[in-house]
Structure formats: C-alpha cells, structure tokens
Amino acid sequence: MIVLSGTIGAGKTSLTTMLAEHLGSEALYESVDDNPILPLFYEDPKRYGFLLQNYFLNKRLDNIKDAQGSQLNVIDRSIFEDLLLFKLNADLDRATQTEVQIYGDLLNNIMEQVDFSDDAIVKTPDLLIYIHVSFETMLERIKKRGRDFEQIANDPSLYNYYKSLNERYVAWFDSYDRSPKLSIDGDQYDFVADESAAKEVLALIDHKITELGLKGN
C-alpha cells in the first residue's frame, strides 16, 4: 500500500484521490468530516484528546486491513504519524504525558501482535509519500477549506499548535525509516489548483513506484 503523510492542509486527501484514480487502485480516507470526536476535541482538547487518538487508531487499522490486496492502494494518513500529533498535544498541555505513554504502548503492542506471514495484514507501507508545505501555505489552506473548529480566528491558541506541528513533521519525516519514502514539495507543486503541477507530481510518484518495482494485483 501507498500511504500519504503531512500536516493539516497539506493536500493529502486531494492527492490520495488523484493518485488512486491515476493508478486505478482504491483510495481509503481519514475519518474527518464524519468524525464525532473531532469537534469536541477542538472545544476541549485535554478532555477529548485521548479518546480522539484511540478513535483514529481504530480507523487507521480498518484502513490498513481494507488496503490489503494491492501494493498500489492509497491511504491518506499514516498510522505512524499519530504519536507525533499526540506528543505535541501533551507538550502544549492539551493532553497528559501519561496518556501519551499509554497510547504509545498500545500502538506498539498492536503493531507487534500482527503476524508477518504471507497471509497476514501488511502493516508497513510499500511507499510513504510526505507532502511538505510551508507554515504560511498550511495556514492559507486551513483558512480556505473553512472548517470552523480549525480556524485560528475562533481559537488563537491554534497558531502555536499549527506552527509546532509543521516544524515537527519535518523532523519526523527525516527520521522515518519503516519503508521507502518520497517527499513532495507542496509549495512548489500546487497539485490541487494547477493541473500541470498535478501531472508533475504524478510523474515523480510513477518514477518512484517503478524504481521500487511496485505493481497492483
């Protein structure tokens, strides 16, 4: 499977759709608009943060199971990013360090318990694609898509949260070593608004897929 990663507003969902259509594979999406916990989290992150992480963990595992059967199926968020997000919430006093420890142990235990046999669920992606955008682009995209609970105008504390998130993603991707990876410059290639940029991004991914010898079933 191919997994997308990146900050809020990076364009993961859009690229997931484009890439799956381009490859003739299946797209599997993060639960956001139909997520009953997410609005509650933005209202009271310390109360609902741990619940939200476990909700996402369950959904990520469903996506991984559903993606089995083709190396070219596309998931729009990696399960390996969630601990990064939760650690940031704790560092900003939006969750507790104890909750982070419990969640991290749960995640590790789940990932270790899945069998590696040929008939088992494949946990790690065949390719992880990271969409990097600048902090300024991130803020513009968040404002443009207009989800009320994400807007800094409604909660000024989100500015520091978004800034720290963007910085930590760079370090996270640099240290990621669980699978082959590819970085896409989301500022240079505005693949959502620019058709020629979209074609260039798909060509970069095609080259990487060929290099890795991936193919659908």
pLDDT attached to residue 119: 54
Query: For the stretch 150-162, what's the b/e string if a residue is b when 16 or more beta carbons lie within 10 angstroms of its beta carbon?
Result: beeeeeeebeebb
Is 208 among the annotated ligand-binding positions?
A: no
Is 145 among the annotated ligand-binding positions?
A: yes
Query: Comparing C-alpha atoms, which of 97, 186, 100 is closest to residue 138?
Result: 186
Q: Is 76 one of the catalytic residues?
A: yes
pLDDT attached to residue 48: 94
pLDDT attached to residue 196: 96
- The number of helices, as runs of H, and strands, as runs of E, in the chain is 8, 5
Q: What CA–CA distance (Å, rounded) separates 60 from 211? A: 27
**Prediction pTM value:** 0.89
Is 37 among the annotated ligand-binding positions?
A: no
pLDDT attached to residue 21: 97
pLDDT attached to residue 149: 82
Cα distances (angstroms) measured from residue 150 to each of 38, 85, 144, 157: 10, 15, 11, 11
In sequence order, what are the residues at sequence separation of 6 or more whose Cβ sits closer than 8 angstroms to the Cβ of residue 71? 1, 2, 126, 214, 215, 216, 217
Which among 62, 66, 76, 105 is annotated as catalytic? 76
pLDDT attached to residue 114: 58
Is 79 among the annotated ligand-binding positions?
A: no
pLDDT attached to residue 52: 92
Other C-beta atoms within 10 Å of 181: how many?
17
Is 184 among the annotated ligand-binding positions?
A: no
Is 112 among the annotated ligand-binding positions?
A: no
Q: What is the pLDDT along the chain (217 residues), one digit of tens a residue?
A: 999 999 988 999 999 999 999 999 999 998 777 889 988 988 898 999 999 999 999 998 889 889 988 889 999 998 888 899 899 989 988 899 999 999 999 998 888 765 544 455 667 899 999 999 999 999 998 988 878 888 988 888 889 989 999 999 999 999 999 899 999 999 999 999 999 999 999 999 999 999 999 876 5
Give the right CATH number for 2-212 from 3.40.50.720, 2.40.50.140, 3.40.50.300, 1.10.3720.10. Answer: 3.40.50.300
pLDDT attached to residue 55: 92
